[in-house]
Chain A
Amino acid sequence: MTDDRQLRVSKIENGTVIDHIAGGQALNVLAILGIDGTAGEVVSIGMNVPSDRLGRKDVVKVENRELSQSELDVLSLIAPAATVNIIRDYDVVDKHLVERPDHVTGILQCPNHNCITTEEEPVDSRFEVLDDGVRCEYCDTIIRENLAAHILV
């Protein structure tokens, strides 16, 4: 048990730890951040870790990379309770909650197959963030359920 716990919470020297992600959403968090390992980042994922606050939570650690505020903001779409810790030399130097942005660009695919953003045109998808979902700024389609299914990867 002690070994397991040490493995889960082992510290990283530099990078970002995203904590309090809803259980099962860690891979979607990586997808929404465009992190797939091809850039050589060392990524550690804890899934369905026991949590007092969430019951079950996921944790993602990305070594040697500090995520930008805009990257963190889009996290709010699928991980509104997430906390983000920036780590330098094994210490937490910055800790904050994600914030919901007004818009997200190039992150989600519009589910309307007749939307111009799904065609071979030089245009990024762009969504307005609503209180309870997102809305395509081109065709007005509203997505309320299962946002993660619409992440562009």
Chain B
Amino acid sequence: MRQDHIISAKQLSRADIETVLDRASDIASDPGAYADRHPNALLGLLFFEPSTRTKMSFSAAIKRLGGDIVDMGPVEYSSVKKGESLADTVRVVEGYADALVLRHPSEGSAKMATEHVDVPLINGGDGAGQHPTQTLLDLYTIRENAGLDDLTIGIMGDLKYGRTVHSLAYALTNFDTRQHFVSPDSLKLPRNVRYDLHEAGSSIKEHTELDDILPSLDVLYVTRIQRERFPDESEYREVAGQYQIDAGTLEAAKDDLTVMHPLPRVDEIAYDVDETSHANYFQQAHNAVPVRMALLDMLLGGDQ
């Protein structure tokens, strides 16, 4: 794979994805072999929104490759607070780092940022838009548990604003998958995502009830229904309650169903699911390090 920037899952071909996942498998099986791969590399972290997993796993990934980070820190202590534009911020920080990770609340921010920098830039989540590196670790986890072809996957929760959903749905069009989307009507897939899935010739179906499709699923990908999207608290409670699963819910599922969640969860997956063989969301989070190591290794010239 030769990509200067990672902005959207739409830019990833099946071959690109498999190359990253294969590299991640190599790293996971022998992390020591990659320990001094990029001893002088600096990764610039530009997080304009809170993040635990994405930020820490990128930090861990570059450090495990022998490099280090330069971190903008919280927005309230940065030049952004003085009114600096995103375009200027990325132009400044590219002078300090060999690659950048950007998380920003506005859709399209990562694409715009790439127009101002020459170092590789990775979209770490842009508003309700895309989160392509989350998708790579999601695919890695799916491949470990169920393979990536002849797969029936259910994606449930906030499909309208959930950027991890949008990226995953695009990436899955590269594989032989049947995608089922489960959400309240108010949080269905946005028009642009449906348009792209249709253009890709993907097999998708939309539902409001999980029960309709649970027994057929190989993977169930659950996302958080975000309270802040609802103007009325009671409206949120009514909808959110319909999209919670517990160990009892999963009795209707296949024995080898893989349950995933990009985390953080609130109450959409009960803690009793953690004790079942279906739970893979913590392993999914841990997979972020080898997958992001693989991606960084390739972007920083690990093939040369």
Contact = CB atoms under 8 A, between A and B. Distances in A.
Is A bound to B?
A: yes
Interface of A: 112, 114-117, 119-123, 135-142
Interface stretch (B21-29, B33-41, B53-61, B109-117): B109-117
Nearest to A140: B192
Contacts of A121: 85-87, 112
Interface in B98-129: 104-109, 111-112, 115, 126-129
B81 interface: no
A115 B108 contact: yes
A141 B192 contact: yes
Given A121-B85, A121-B86, A121-B112, A142 B191 contact: yes
12 contacts: A114-B107, A114-B128, A115-B106, A116-B104, A116-B107, A121-B87, A135-B192, A136-B108, A138-B112, A140-B129, A140-B196, A142-B192
A94 B126 CA distance: 47
A116 B112 contact: yes
B282 interface: no
Contact of A123 (B87, B127, B129, B195): B87
Contacts of A115: 106-108
Contacts of A120: 85
Nearest to B86: A121
A142 B107 CA distance: 13
Contacts of A112: 107
A139 to B, nearest CB: 4
Contact of A139 (B85, B108, B191, B195): B108
A139 B192 CA distance: 9
Nearest to B107: A139
A6 to B, nearest CB: 49
Contacts of A140: 107-108, 129, 192-193, 196
A119 B106 contact: yes
A121 B192 CA distance: 24
Contacts of B105: 114
Given A116-B107, A116-B111, 8 more contacts: A114-B107, A115-B108, A121-B85, A121-B112, A123-B112, A138-B107, A140-B129, A142-B195
Contacts of B87: 121-123
A123 B88 CA distance: 12
B9 to A, nearest CB: 12
Contacts of B109: 116
B108 A138 contact: yes
B85 A114 contact: no
A52 B226 CA distance: 55
Q: Which 10 pairs across A and B sit closest by C-beta, in order of nearness?
A: A138-B108, A139-B107, A139-B108, A116-B108, A140-B192, A116-B106, A116-B109, A116-B112, A142-B192, A123-B112
